[in-house]
Chain A
Amino acid sequence: GESVGLHLPTLSVQEGDNSIINCAYSNSASDYFIWYKQESGKGPQFIIDIRSNMDKRQGQRVTVLLNKTVKHLSLQIAATQPGDSAVYFCAEEDSSYKLIFGSGTRLLVRP
């Protein structure tokens, strides 16, 4: 079946360093992927998305990479700041336009 999972449940980085959060997906037919950020007690916030016809997409301080060969998605955050501390989810859209979420990675930024 379809599934989206994350390799690391918790990632701790030094302020100013770059962060990389990884995600694996199992449905090779999926063609839309999204990264969300969720702060404690709040709803998820859209960060960046990518479609399967792209390998890379950049936003402000964030980059998403898609490797369709190994069904892997990553989120890179440049110059990580304390405000980046949150749980990050990747999500995969299925053929019914439903999102399938992974369990999330908690990013902790050390001052």
Chain B
Amino acid sequence: DGGITQSPKYLFRKEGQNVTLSCEQNLNHDAMYWYRQDPGQGLRLIYYSQIVNDFQKGDIAEGYSVSREKKESFPLTVTSAQKNPTAFYLCASSTPAYEQYFGPGTRLTVT
């Protein structure tokens, strides 16, 4: 089964803790993306990576960090510096200039 997996589906953390969200793809895509979605809103780009060992900030990168050590994996860390981390996080992958495929998302709640 080819696709993108994100785990866990729901995640709860206390304020001040860092948390890492997993994203894995077996589509052999070079590019991977992380988005944040707030209720009733569109998707905002956090970070993206077009190739292994390289990544760029998106529109709302502050308080987040990523790594791309393997083609299949693009984990996102939500740090304690992120002022409002509670949101729905979506990972996607693509071949550039073609559609992005999205994972099922991780809903993070920080209290």
Q: Are B96 and A97 in contact (CB under 8 A)?
A: yes
Q: Are B102 and A104 in contact (CB under 8 A)?
A: no
* Chain A residues, Cβ within 8 Å of B102: 36, 43-45
Q: Are B48 and A49 in contact (CB under 8 A)?
A: no
Shortest C-beta distance, B50 to chain A (Å), equals 7
Whose C-beta in chain B lies nearest to the C-beta of A4?
B42
Question: Could you tell me the dominant secondary structure of chain B's interface residues?
Answer: strand
Determine the distance from Cα of A43 to Cα of B4 in the docked complex, in whole angstroms: 10
Given A41-B105, A97-B31, does the pair A104, B42 have CB atoms closer than 8 Å?
yes
Could you write out 16 A-B pairs with CB less than 8 Å apart?
A: A36-B102, A42-B104, A42-B105, A43-B4, A43-B92, A43-B103, A43-B104, A43-B105, A44-B43, A46-B99, A46-B100, A89-B43, A93-B97, A101-B44, A102-B42, A104-B41
Using a CB–CB cutoff of 8 Å, the interface residues on chain B facing chain A are 4, 6, 31, 33, 41-45, 48, 50, 56, 58, 90, 92, 94, 96-97, 99-105, 107
